[in-house]
């Protein structure tokens, strides 16, 4: 009976680890999709509402899940008015994004580039820049979805196979 319980625990543990890894890939996609929605919202607000950046960050914090703490923190730093540019606040606060560790180096580079180009240009240039980043982000999301499909299958099969192998080896 003890061996059977051990067999089941090893198998489930190995399968659970592979599920955790696959979940990280899914979180990456959801984070990127939420960032894309935030950029679309910013474009609309910059074009039609002409709100200040602190108000935009407050609205974005209320709309999102992964970025809510990030935008709240960004808003608070903007209101401090300590003379730093928005890009500095953006770069400093990136660790406040929920699931930050699921993002790749390329994702973080794109994220920082968005912040470096936000809030410092005239309205038309700002909208053009945001549309360029939206296009790059859409490509990144498509690539992440493709990677997810491939890696999810491999991780799941590897986890189950490793669990079975370990469980049989321990018998």
pLDDT digits (tens, 9 = 90+) for 67-119: 999 999 999 988 888 878 888 888 888 889 999 999 999 999 999 999 888 87
Contacts of 112 (CB under 8 A, 6+ apart): 90, 91, 94
pLDDT digits (tens, 9 = 90+) for 51-69: 788 888 899 999 989 999 9
CA-to-CA dists, residue 18 to 15, 28, 101, angstroms: 5, 16, 17
Q: Are 15 and 155 in contact (CB under 8 A)?
A: no
> Is 136 in contact with 110 (CB distance < 8 Å)?
yes
Residue keyed to tokens 């696959």: 22
């Amino acid at each position: 009976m003890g061996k059977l319980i051990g067999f089941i625990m090893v198998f489930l543990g190995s399968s659970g680890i592979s599920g955790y890894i696959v979940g990280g890939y899914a979180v990456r996609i959801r984070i990127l999709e939420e960032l894309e929605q935030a950029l679309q919202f910013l474009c609309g607000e910059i074009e039609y509402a002409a709100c200040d950046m602190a108000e935009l960050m407050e609205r974005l914090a209320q709309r999102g899940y992964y970025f809510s703490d990030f935008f709240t923190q960004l808003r608070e730093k903007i209101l401090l008015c300590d003379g730093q540019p928005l890009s500095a606040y953006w770069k400093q606060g990136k660790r406040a994004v929920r699931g930050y560790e699921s993002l790749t180096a390329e994702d973080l580079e794109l994220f920082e580039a968005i912040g470096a180009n936000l809030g410092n240009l005239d309205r038309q240039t700002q909208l053009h820049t945001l549309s360029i980043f939206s296009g790059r982000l859409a490509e990144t999301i498509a690539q992440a979805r493709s990677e997810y499909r491939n890696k999810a299958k491999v991780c799941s099969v590897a986890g189950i196979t490793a669990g079975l192998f370990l469980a049989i080896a321990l018998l």
